[in-house]
Amino acid sequence: MTDSDIRVAADDRPLFAPRTSTTRWSLVAVGVLVLAIAGAAYYLWQRHAAPQAPPAVETPPAPQAAAPASEPRIEHPVEAAPQAAALPALAESDDAAREALGALLGANVFDALFRPQDLIRNFVATVDNLPRQNVALRLMPLKPVPGTFRIAGPEGSRSVSADNAARYAPYVHAVEAIDSAKLVAVYVRFYPLFQQAYADLGYPKRYFNDRVFEVIDHLLATPDAPRSIALVQPKVLYEYADPALANLSAGQTILIRMGPENEARVKAKLRELKAALSRGK
């Protein structure tokens, strides 16, 4: 089985296919989140209300005009970064984003892990999808985890093999090696494009950095992965025997699949980044 073997069935339960195929999502989706966040000082979005209509001369006062609905409050704003050069258009941003991430990670690491097309749009779409049951596979910006997904135990007593976690080690090492301060600088520099991509995704009145905080909290709420994860095969496909695991979101399932040690290390990095994001509140 390959790492594409987690799927979402009609009842939104993650399943495992017993035959080989090619993955399109895995631990690396969590890496997308780690590579797509940074922060700035906290403040509240100011609300504006329309002024009252003045009373007419020698007639009863006109009714007060209804105040328009308040703009959504931005909880975690990103302050505009000084730009040494103008940002490219979103549709033409791949070269600049690839250069910035390559400098942060190293060109060889970037080339090994990333699909370089539509980087910012795919970052935003994947981060937004992590708390959902489905991940848009065609929008994944990172390459698949190599190797085959491993199952242990005899027929009728299947479980996820303990050595499966080793396949995720290079991605976890890359996540841990990221310099948080430099990551912040890259994110803040490109934030207008992240925000534009989020609006284009269908959220013109929402703020992407607030969504990032929501996703971090959601991932940190993932239950700790058990040492042994039992599988059942009611029909053709495998699925988690524990309904609590079977009904996790895509992002939480990714954390569970990488094994308890890798999950703990990624969560530690997410807590570190959240703390950096929260400074100045």
CA separation for the pair 60, 54 (Å, rounded)? 10
Q: Is residue 68 part of a domain?
A: no
- Which of 139, 160, 281 is CA-nearest to residue 213? 281
CA separation for the pair 79, 97 (Å, rounded)? 19
Q: Is residue 199 part of a domain?
A: yes
Q: What is the pLDDT of residues 30-77, one digit of tens each?
A: 555 654 443 222 222 222 223 333 344 444 444 444 444 456 788 988
Secondary structure of residue 230 in the 3-state scheme: strand
Report the pLDDT averaged over residues 231-248: 88
Which amino acid is residue 183, in one-letter code? L
CA 256 from chain centre, in angstroms, equals 15
Q: Is residue 10 part of a domain?
A: yes
- Which of 37, 2, 31, 28 is CA-nearest to residue 16? 2
DSSP for 112-166 reads HHB--TTHHHHHHHHHHHTTSS---GGG--BPPPPSB--EES-TTS-EE-GGGGG
Backbone angles phi, psi at 258, to 5 degrees: -80, -5
Structure tokens at 79: 């302050």
Secondary structure of residue 15 in the 3-state scheme: strand
Q: What is the pLDDT of residues 177-208, one digit of tens each?
A: 888 778 877 888 999 999 999 999 999 999 99
Q: 204: domain range?
A: 3-43+74-278
Select, from the ranges 75-89, 180-194, 238-252, the one with the highest average predicted confidence (pLDDT).
Answer: 238-252
Give the pLDDT score at 245.
Answer: 92
8 or 185, greater pLDDT:
185
Q: Is residue 167 part of a domain?
A: yes
Q: What is the DSSP letter of 232?
A: E
Give the pLDDT score at 70.
Answer: 55
pLDDT at 146 over 60: yes
| Total tally of structural domains belonging to the chain | 1
The residue written with tokens 């991932």 in the block is: 219
Q: Is residue 64 part of a domain?
A: no
Q: Is residue 65 part of a domain?
A: no
Predicted TM-score (pTM) of the model is: 0.75
28 or 245, greater pLDDT:
245
Report the pLDDT averaged over residues 134-163: 84
217 or 113, greater pLDDT:
217
Q: Is residue 49 part of a domain?
A: no
Inter-residue contact 227 to 260 (CB < 8 Å):
yes
Give CA separation, 247 vs 18, 259, 274, in Å.
20, 18, 26
CA separation for the pair 193, 170 (Å, rounded)? 29
Percent of the chain beyond pLDDT 90? 35
Give the pLDDT score at 249.
Answer: 96
Which amino acid is residue 247, in one-letter code? N
The gap between the terminal CA atoms of the chain, to the nearest Å, is 46
Q: Is residue 48 part of a domain?
A: no
pLDDT at 139 over 50: yes
- Name the packing angle between helices 208-220 and 180-200 (round to 10°): 110
CA separation for the pair 151, 162 (Å, rounded)? 9
